[in-house]
């Protein structure tokens, strides 16, 4: 395992073997499991608020409607330009402004969609975390599946302390 410096400078954190990391992880999971009912209760109490996408979906729908409106205006401008002799400089300027506005709204629309997908993904991960936590009793052997489903990341301090940060934000 490497430190985050990745050989850019000498790492000052101590070295852990894979077996030491696995053992520490199992101990941390067993500590976490002692509070699993409380963790589940906390998750259930915040789940509908923290992972709701309703407001974002409303915002996304408004942005989509605005994009459609701008697109229709652009189409009308193109058709009007084809039928009637217009000042091309003025037409191009107005069309460019509509294009910029459309692109700006599209960027906002994409950002909101990304937030919605992120919330949905985090909700699924949190649900899996709770399900995995509730399905396990005290663990005696290391499981890569448990590692992947429960752990977000691990930190090593210069003092040699290994801290596990679980997907629910708990640090042990």
In angstroms, the Cα distances linking 151 to 55, 89, 110, 125, 129 are 30, 59, 29, 11, 9
**Sequence-distant (≥ 6) Cβ neighbours of residue 12 within 8 angstroms:** 158
| CA–CA distance, 13 with 107 (Å, rounded to integer) | 42
| CA–CA distance, 172 with 159 (Å, rounded to integer) | 16
**Tens-place pLDDT, residues 9-67:** 666 777 788 888 999 988 888 888 887 777 777 777 777 888 899 999 999 999 999 99
* Tokens found for residue 147: 């590692």
135/155: higher pLDDT: 155
CB atoms within 10 A of CB 136: 17
- pTM, to two decimals: 0.64
> What is the predicted pLDDT for the residue at 63?
98
């Amino acid at each position: 395992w490497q430190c985050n410096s990745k050989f850019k400078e000498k790492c000052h954190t101590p070295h852990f073997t894979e077996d030491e990391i696995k053992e520490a992880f199992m101990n941390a999971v067993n500590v976490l499991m002692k509070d699993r009912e409380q963790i589940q209760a906390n998750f259930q109490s915040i789940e509908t608020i923290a992972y709701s996408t309703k407001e974002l979906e409303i915002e996304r729908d408004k942005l989509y409607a605005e994009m459609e409106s701008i697109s229709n205006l652009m189409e009308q401008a193109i058709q009007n330009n084809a039928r009637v002799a217009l000042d091309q400089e003025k037409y191009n300027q107005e069309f460019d402004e509509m294009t910029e506005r459309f692109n700006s709204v599209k960027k906002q629309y994409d950002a909101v969609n990304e937030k919605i997908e992120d919330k949905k993904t985090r909700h699924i991960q949190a649900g899996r975390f709770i399900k995995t936590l509730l399905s396990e009793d005290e663990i005696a052997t290391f499981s890569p599946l448990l590692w992947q489903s429960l752990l977000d990341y691990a930190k090593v301090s210069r003092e040699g302390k290994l801290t596990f940060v679980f997907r629910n934000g708990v640090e042990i």
